[in-house]
Structures are given as structure tokens and as C-alpha cells.
């Protein structure tokens, strides 16, 4: 190991980290560097320290490092086996409580814990090893128990009129673990896919670039995408051109501008963001469009006065904790998670910038649709059905419980419930009640497409000569199909394909997007 460079050693340790993070502070891997990573050896350390009896090793030897990375569902570790339950309860008690174990070892404050251990000796090495080893053993145990005892979730019975002419029944749909993906994700555990004769696996993706690349490579059947992505990919903006159709909208609203808590006394308006490092999930996102809209209206040039960078949503809270982000416009639940971890405060909900704005969408490629037209119609219908279910407030607690599972969002229930119910702490000591903080409406208004395209032009992300607004909306947003499927489901979709959109600082007329862009630049000087 002595011949391994410091950089490569860091990568090795990061890849081993049970927390699954890819941007952990340097202290994290340096502290873990000298510790054993095999679970048997972890528990063996405890035995040598006199904390446990050697018999504990018999269980530890059944656990593997791979399993350590697989699960954090600690409530599943016992599964009716009294000896297992007794052993793991002893681990938890010895470490001072389950919350303390994971907050210290793998939470967003891990850097502080490790730094204190190494530099200030606030914890003895014995205490350090005990907490981290116990956490590792518990993670391992959760994984082992889950793999052996998981049972399929209850599902809806297939509808009597479920299609029988499906070209393909087994599908894989990629998603990013955010609440915007609710209809796509919840349709697996709550049975909406099976209701329409489909066997769908939703596959968690690390970032939006991976979703885009997997789509182009044909590695997925369909995708959860940011609503600007089908436009960008189809037109070859930032990638090879590849025809993607936006089939239905997943969510409206549901985002926020979150600011690091250290700025709570200085940030009151957009002008106060000058010099900030700001995270957005992807260049071709409503988040990027909306933060630029907000900053420009406040007198800042988004390309000169701040630094806007793409950050995978799951990494955003850790980056803010490490001081790498001053603010972010991210999808939830990560805004609420920043509040939950006492790292940031919610400065502004995006519904206050544009009430009813689109965010994420269900999409598929034109070649896949051409090959699987009946399957495409069925899966889109299942998701539209789920979208209507998700929009009913009384269904939100049930949905939140389904979403928090490790293979889906893997978030604390209070965080997801706060987003879906709209009753939340803002990080400044206030409890807010905003029932429409996030909504679910599948109708893909063509005015959404035109506003998005107008902002791509405004911020030099799309050449003006590609900005055939009407053609883009007509070719990429499948508004007519969505309306047809909504009617089949007994829903009442709008009767027009576009509408005027009311934003915080202006009114968007979809009949003349080019004039709108010119007026924005004239009004805000950027």
C-alpha cells in the first residue's frame, strides 16, 4: 500500500465508504484509512477492545463488505430471530443509541466528528473505533437481514382492461432519487405498473448526465428527466442529438432556493447572492433557468456575479456542509434535508417564482416508442394514473412511507413528509404550511416548452437559429397523447395546448417567445 499514491488511496477509501457518498471530506477517508473494512475484522476489533464476547464473530463472519454498502434499513435486521435482535440491540446500546451512531459516523456532520477525533482528541481512539465499527456492523446486518427476508410489496390487481398486446412487459426506468420522481417511483411499490400488465424495475441513477448517456446508449427503456432535457437532447445541446419525447409531466413546483445557514443574517434578496457559489442539478434544468431568472431580476448577471455549477442532488447537502456551496436551487427532498441537518435555510420556494411551473417529466426515445407503441402507451398511462393519485393530499403520507425505502429515496420519513404535505420547518425557526409546495399534474403544456426554449436562447444555451419554438413544442411535448390518456382514466385535462404563464416578474405569452426574451433583456439588462 505504501506505493499507492495519496490520490488513488483516497479513491479506494471513498469506494469502500458505507455511507455511499462520492464527495466525502478528506478527513473521512484519512481517518478510516487504518481501520479494517471486512465486517468480521470490524467486530473482531471490538472483541480485542473487550467490548464484546468472541461469539459475536460467528455472526459477523456471515457478512460481507458488499452487503455493507447495500442497506441502511436497520429496522429489518432482526426479522423475528431473538438472538440476532438481542445482539444488535446490544451494539446500539453500546454505541450510545442508533441516531448517535449514524450521525457521528456517516451523517453530513461526519467531517466534524472525524476532525474532532483526530485533531482535538474529543473522542478517544477507543470511542472512535467503537462508534464507527458499530455503525459498520449495523449497516452490514441490515443488508444481510433484508436480502434474506424481503417480501414483495402489496400491489394493485391488474385492471380488467389491462392491455394484452404489449410488445414488452419487463421494463427498466431510470430515476434520480428526488420527490419530483414520485409518480414514476411510487408506481413500483404501490402497484400502478402491474395494474397495466407491466413488470417495471425503477433504477436509481447517480446524476442527470448518467440518465442522458444511458438514454442515448439505449440502456434504459424510459426515463425520469428534467423537463428541459428532452429538448436539449433532441436538439443536440450539450450532447449528441437523439430524439426524446416528453410524454407527461411528473411534478409542478416542488423546488426551493436553499442558502447555507452561515448566511442567514445577510441574505434577504437576490442581490445578496453576489459572489456566491450556487448549485443546480444540471445545466438543462428548470433549476438553472429559475435561479437565473431570479438573479437577473435582482440585478445580478448569473454568468459574472455568481458561480453556478451542476451538482448531483444527492451530493448537494454534503457539499453545502463542507462549505463548497453558499446556496442551491435543488429538487426536494434535499432542500428540506439541509434544514433537517441544520446546514441551510429555505430562502424561497420556486412556486413563489412561478406557481405551477414544470420540473420533471416522464420521457422515452422515439426509436423505443416506435418499437413498443402499446407498451409506451401502457406505461405512460400507469404513470399518469399514479400522478393523479399522488396529487390527492390524503394519499401523501402513504406515498411518503413508500418513497423512503433504501432503493428509492433513502431519506428520513419526516423530511419526505414535510415536502409532500407542505408542513415544514424553514431553518429559521418558523413552521410553514404550504399545501401546494409540490403538486403532481401530468399535462405537458406546450407553453412550458416555449418558455424553456426561450430561456435556453436567453442564456446562450441554444442558438437562435434552432429556436423554432412552435416546432419544438409540437415535436417533443406529447400533449395530445397525455390528454387522451387522462380522458381514458376519467380525468379532465385542459382543452387547449398552451396558456399564458404568470411568473413573479413578468407574463409569458407563448404566441411570441422571441419578443419575451428581448423584453427580458431590455428590462433586466441581462
Q: Which of 118, 149, 180 is the last residue of a domain?
A: 149
For the segment 145-173, the average pLDDT, to the nearest whole number, is: 65
For the segment 497-522, the average pLDDT, to the nearest whole number, is: 97
Is the bond leading into 333 cis (omega within 30 degrees of zero)? yes
In order of 177, 224, 479, 499, the CA distances from 482 in angstroms are 24, 16, 5, 16
| Average pLDDT value over all residues in the chain | 80
**pLDDT above 70: residue 85:** no
**Terminal CA-CA length for the chain:** 54
- pTM value is 0.74
**pLDDT above 60: residue 295:** yes
pLDDT of residue 164: 84
**pLDDT above 70: residue 84:** no
pLDDT of residue 137: 53
In a domain, 158, yes or no: no
**pLDDT above 60: residue 444:** yes
In a domain, 8, yes or no: no
pLDDT of residue 414: 95
Confidence of residue 320 (pLDDT cuts 50, 70, 90): very high
In a domain, 186, yes or no: yes
pLDDT of residue 41: 54
For the segment 256-281, the average pLDDT, to the nearest whole number, is: 98
Query: Are 298 and 315 found together in one domain?
Result: yes
**pLDDT above 60: residue 504:** yes
Query: Are 299 and 364 found together in one domain?
Result: no
pLDDT of residue 192: 97
What's the CATH number where 265 sits?
3.40.190.10
For the segment 45-69, the average pLDDT, to the nearest whole number, is: 41
**pLDDT above 70: residue 304:** yes
d(C-alpha 69, C-alpha 87), whole Å: 21
Q: Which of 97, 118, 149 is the last residue of a domain?
A: 149
Cell of 131: 462508534
Minimal CA–CA distance to 479: which of 286, 227, 172, 180?
227
d(C-alpha 391, C-alpha 389), whole Å: 5
Least confident of 63-77, 128-142, 145-159, 293-307: 63-77
pLDDT of residue 485: 98
- Residues 387-427 pLDDT 10s: 999 999 999 999 999 999 989 999 999 999 999 999 999 99
**pLDDT above 90: residue 372:** yes
Classify 222 as helix, strand or coil: strand
**pLDDT above 70: residue 468:** yes
Q: Which of 149, 181, 197 is the last residue of a domain?
A: 149
Domain count, the chain: 3
Least confident of 20-24, 281-285, 344-348, 368-372: 20-24
Confidence of residue 163 (pLDDT cuts 50, 70, 90): confident
Confidence of residue 56 (pLDDT cuts 50, 70, 90): very low
In a domain, 482, yes or no: yes
Q: Where are the beta strands (DSSP E) in 459-522?
A: 501-502, 507-508
Please name the residue ranges forming H helices in 341-461: 366-371, 373-390, 396-403, 413-421, 446-458
Query: Are 260 and 338 found together in one domain?
Result: yes
pLDDT of residue 86: 55
Residue-number span of the structural domain to which 274 is assigned: 255-353
At residue 438, φ and ψ (nearest 5 deg) are -135, 140
pLDDT of residue 136: 52
pLDDT of residue 495: 97
pLDDT of residue 362: 98
Query: Are 487 and 390 found together in one domain?
Result: yes
Cell of 122: 474529543
At residue 154, φ and ψ (nearest 5 deg) are -65, 140
Query: Are 116 and 33 found together in one domain?
Result: yes
Confidence of residue 162 (pLDDT cuts 50, 70, 90): confident
Please name the residue ranges forming H helices in 169-275: 182-186, 192-195, 208-217, 229-235
Amino acid at each position: 500500500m505504501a506505493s499507492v499514491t495519496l490520490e488513488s488511496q483516497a479513491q479506494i477509501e471513498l469506494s469502500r465508504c458505507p455511507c455511499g457518498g462520492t464527495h466525502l471530506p478528506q478527513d473521512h477517508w484519512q481517518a478510516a484509512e487504518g481501520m479494517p473494512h471486512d465486517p468480521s475484522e470490524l467486530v473482531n476489533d471490538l472483541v480485542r477492545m473487550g467490548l464484546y464476547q468472541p461469539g459475536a464473530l460467528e455472526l459477523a463472519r456471515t457478512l460481507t463488505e458488499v452487503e455493507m454498502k447495500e442497506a441502511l434499513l436497520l429496522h429489518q435486521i432482526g426479522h423475528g430471530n431473538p438472538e440476532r435482535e438481542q445482539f444488535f440491540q446490544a451494539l446500539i446500546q453500546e454505541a450510545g443509541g442508533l441516531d448517535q451512531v449514524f450521525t457521528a459516523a456517516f451523517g453530513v456532520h461526519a467531517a466534524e466528528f472525524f476532525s474532532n477525533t483526530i485533531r482535538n482528541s474529543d473522542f478517544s481512539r477507543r470511542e472512535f473505533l467503537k462508534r464507527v465499527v458499530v455503525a459498520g456492523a449495523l449497516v452490514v446486518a441490515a443488508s444481510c437481514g433484508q436480502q434474506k427476508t424481503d417480501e414483495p410489496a402489496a400491489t394493485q390487481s391488474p385492471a380488467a382492461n389491462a392491455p394484452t398486446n404489449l410488445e414488452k412487459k419487463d421494463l427498466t426506468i431510470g430515476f434520480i432519487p428526488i420527490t419530483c420522481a414520485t409518480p414514476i417511483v411510487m408506481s413500483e411499490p404501490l402497484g400502478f405498473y402491474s395494474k397495466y400488465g407491466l413488470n417495471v424495475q425503477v433504477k436509481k441513477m447517480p446524476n442527470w448526465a448518467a440518465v442522458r448517456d444511458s438514454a442515448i446508449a439505449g440502456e434504459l427503456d424510459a426515463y425520469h428527466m428534467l423537463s428541459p432535457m428532452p429538448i436539449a437532447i433532441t436538439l443536440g445541446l450539450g450532447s449528441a442529438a437523439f430524439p426524446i419525447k416528453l410524454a407527461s409531466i411528473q411534478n409542478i413546483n416542488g423546488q426551493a432556493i436553499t442558502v447555507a445557514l452561515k448566511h442567514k443574517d445577510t441574505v434577504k434578496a437576490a442581490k445578496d447572492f453576489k459572489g456566491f457559489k450556487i448549485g443546480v442539478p444540471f445545466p438543462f434544468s428548470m433549476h438553472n433557468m429559475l435561479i437565473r431568472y431570479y438573479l437577473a431580476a435582482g440585478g445580478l448577471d448569473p454568468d459574472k456575479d455568481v458561480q453556478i455549477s451542476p451538482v448531483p442532488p444527492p451530493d448537494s447537502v454534503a457539499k453545502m456542509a463542507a462549505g463548497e456551496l453558499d446556496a442551491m436551487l435543488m429538487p426536494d427532498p434535499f432542500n428540506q434535508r439541509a434544514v433537517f441537518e441544520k446546514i441551510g435555510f429555505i430562502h424561497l420556494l420556486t412556486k413563489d417564482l412561478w406557481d405551477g411551473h414544470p420540473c420533471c417529466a416522464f420521457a422515452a426515445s422515439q426509436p423505443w416508442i416506435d418499437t413498443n407503441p402499446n407498451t409506451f402507451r401502457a406505461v405512460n398511462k400507469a404513470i399518469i394514473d399514479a400522478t393523479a393519485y399522488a396529487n390527492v393530499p390524503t394519499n401523501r403520507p402513504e406515498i411518503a412511507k413508500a418513497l423512503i425505502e433504501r432503493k428509492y429515496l433513502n431519506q428520513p420519513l419526516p423530511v419526505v413528509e414535510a415536502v409532500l404535505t407542505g408542513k415544514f420547518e424553514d431553518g429559521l425557526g418558523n413552521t410553514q404550511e404550504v399545501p401546494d409546495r409540490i403538486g403532481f399534474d401530468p399535462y405537458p403544456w406546450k407553453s412550458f416548452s416555449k418558455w424553456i426554449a426561450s430561456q435556453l436562447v436567453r442564456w446562450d444555451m441554444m442558438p437562435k437559429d434552432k429556436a423554432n419554438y412552435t416546432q419544438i413544442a409540437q415535436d417533443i411535448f406529447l400533449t395530445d397523447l397525455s390528454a387522451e390518456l387522462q380522458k381514458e382514466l376519467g380525468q379532465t385535462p385542459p382543452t387547449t395546448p398552451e396558456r399564458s404563464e404568470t411568473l413573479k416578474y413578468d407574463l409569458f405569452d407563448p404566441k411570441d417567445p422571441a419578443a419575451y426574451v428581448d423584453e427580458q433583456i431590455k428590462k433586466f439588462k441581462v
